[in-house]
């Protein structure tokens, strides 16, 4: 199927200011739709408070943390810490999007609403982790201080259009990471909590995805270039977390988030919905970006296939050792 989009301008014509103004009505429409379908929920209702015990400190009856106190799996524990620390940097995220999108009109209303909804995620995850004793609370706080002290600067802060493209994929990536962490956690309570968070993340993805669709309609060339740049250079916002690379490797093996998941469950659904590789009527720069994007996706699929093979071989080795 081919979508025909008029060639309405080059990146030099479509400044951030022009795009913000051109998309204002779309933002208002998507904001109203979001508010109709989004459901408020209470973080405290997802926390197993009766499992909680005092930690050492001000309380004489405090019980020191030990790994065996929680039913959460090792990969679940690792992923929960990464996911929570990613959520913890919300002040930096808010600063970035408020600076890019503004604090007035529909854009500003969305920025504040998004921040309020995202705030619930860090609250409920931290309360769950402490009440269930899933992680070492001292190390968690040390990680939080280290990560937040570094702050966060997006790779796409130079461009409002790049930022919209990034969050369209990143919100879905976060949803998938939360959902899979819940499935791999070994705790039904954790699974329900992260499923609730994943629902929010999906609605945020839909907002940005629909905004990106509108951007393709009014400015196809710069939007195609932005999508190309974001997909090729994509990094999760938690990449600055202490020990992130090791944690990411363990999450990949544990099937929380890896190349196959990134290709099949994050990039492809958004690209297919927008029919990015079928858009016609592009100028030279947009067409080049589209071609490069197609080549990259083919290469990523090949890399994911190699990862699948290595993962299957690893499972076979582990199964053989278990039978020995």
pLDDT tens-digit readout, 267-319 = 999 999 999 999 999 999 999 999 999 999 999 999 999 999 999 998 888 88
- Count of residues for the chain? 324
**Structure confidence by residue, pLDDT tens digits, 171-220:** 999 999 999 999 999 999 999 999 999 999 999 999 999 999 999 999 99
d(CA 188, CA 108): 37
Q: What topology is assigned to 16-42+68-317 in CATH?
A: Ribonucleotide Reductase, subunit A (1.10.620)
> Whole-model pTM above 0.85?
yes
* Residue of 147, 79, 86 whose CA lies nearest to 122: 86
201 belongs to an annotated ligand binding site: yes
118 belongs to an annotated ligand binding site: yes
**Structure confidence by residue, pLDDT tens digits, 45-58:** 999 999 999 999 88
Please state whether 235 falls in left (phi above 0), alpha (psi between -120 and 50) or beta.
Answer: beta
* DSSP per-residue codes, 49-117: GGG--PPBTTBTT-----GGG----HHHHHHHHHHHHHHHTHHHHHHHHHHHH-SSHHHHHHHHHHHHH
Cross-strand pairs, 56: 59
77: tokens are 């524990």
147 belongs to an annotated ligand binding site: no
Q: Check pLDDT > 80 for residue 322.
A: no
* DSSP per-residue codes, 31-50: HHHHHHH-----GGGGS-GG
d(CA 38, CA 34): 6
87 belongs to an annotated ligand binding site: yes
């Amino acid at each position: 199927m081919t979508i025909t989009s008029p060639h309405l301008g080059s990146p030099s014509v479509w400044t951030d200011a022009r795009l913000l103004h051109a998309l204002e009505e779309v933002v208002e429409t998507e904001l109203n739709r979001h508010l109709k379908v989004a459901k408020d929920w209470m973080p405290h209702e997802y926390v197993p408070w009766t499992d909680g015990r005092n930690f050492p400190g001000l309380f004489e009856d405090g019980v020191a943390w030990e790994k065996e106190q929680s039913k959460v799996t090792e990969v679940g524990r690792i992923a929960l810490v990464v996911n929570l620390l990613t959520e913890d940097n919300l002040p930096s995220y808010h600063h970035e999007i408020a600076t890019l999108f503004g604090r007035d009109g529909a854009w500003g209303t969305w920025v504040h609403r998004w921040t309020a909804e995202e705030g619930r995620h860090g609250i409920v995850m931290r309360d769950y982790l402490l009440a269930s004793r899933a992680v070492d609370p001292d190390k968690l706080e040390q990680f939080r201080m280290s990560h937040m002290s570094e702050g966060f600067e997006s790779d796409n802060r130079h461009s409002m259009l790049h930022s919209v493209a990034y969050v369209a994929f990143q919100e879905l990536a976060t949803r998938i990471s939360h959902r899979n962490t819940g499935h791999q956690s070994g705790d039904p309570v954790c699974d329900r909590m992260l499923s609730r968070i994943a629902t929010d993340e999906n609605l945020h993805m839909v907002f940005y995805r629909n905004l990106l669709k509108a951007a393709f309609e009014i400015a196809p060339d710069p939007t195609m270039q932005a999508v190309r740049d974001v997909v090729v250079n994509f990094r999760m916002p938690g990449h600055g977390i202490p020990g992130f690379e090791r944690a990411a490797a363990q999450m990949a093996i544990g099937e929380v988030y890896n190349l196959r998941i990134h290709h099949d469950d994050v990039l492809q659904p958004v690209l297919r919905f927008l029919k990015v590789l079928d858009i016609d009527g592009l100028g030279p720069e947009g067409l080049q970006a589209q071609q490069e994007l197609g080549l990259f996706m083919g290469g990523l699929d090949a890399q994911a296939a190699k990862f699948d093979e290595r993962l299957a071989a690893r499972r076979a080795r582990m199964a053989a050792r278990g039978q020995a």
